[in-house]
Amino acid sequence: MIWQWLGLWFSAFSSATILPGTSDVALLAFVHAYESLWPWALLVATLGNGMGSMVSYGMGRLVPDKHQPSERIKHWIDKYGIWALLMAWVPFVGDGLAIAAGWLRLNFWLSSLLLVVGKFARYAVLIGGLWVVV
């Protein structure tokens, strides 16, 4: 069963980077197959996705100052500040938010916390939705 756990973690990790990933499908398939392990699956997926976001944050710190985030990302950060990181789970926008947080040198620890909280909430809603549908 170690391969299933590693697959879930890697899928969640890669989904939070610029690499393509399918963490939603992997998490729901895992929970469907091993219902009693859903709390651990939620934890593994959240940690993997959070770690992937922090890699994106680190990539943002490497971006030279002369490069700017996209207008859409800048709008979110300007409008909501660091709290925009709670929305880092949104497809396409989320990776940009984590990268922008690093580029803007937002506080590492607060950024990490907000990224993980948002991703945890998303995965919890997905698992809850699975039980409603199935």
SS (H, E, C) 39-105: HHHHHHHHHHHHHHHHHHHHHHHHCCCCCCCCHHHHHHHHHHHHHHHHHCCCCCHHHHHHHHHHHCC
At 61-116, the pLDDT tens digits run 998 877 777 777 777 777 888 888 998 888 777 888 899 899 888 999 999 999 99
Q: Model's pTM, two decimal places?
A: 0.86
What is the domain count for the chain?
Answer: 1
Reported as a pLDDT band with limits 50, 70 and 90, residue 11 is very high
Domain residues for 32? 2-133
**At residue 21, what are phi and psi to the nearest 5 degrees?**
-155, 165
At 20-66, the pLDDT tens digits run 778 999 999 999 999 999 999 999 999 999 999 999 999 999 988 77
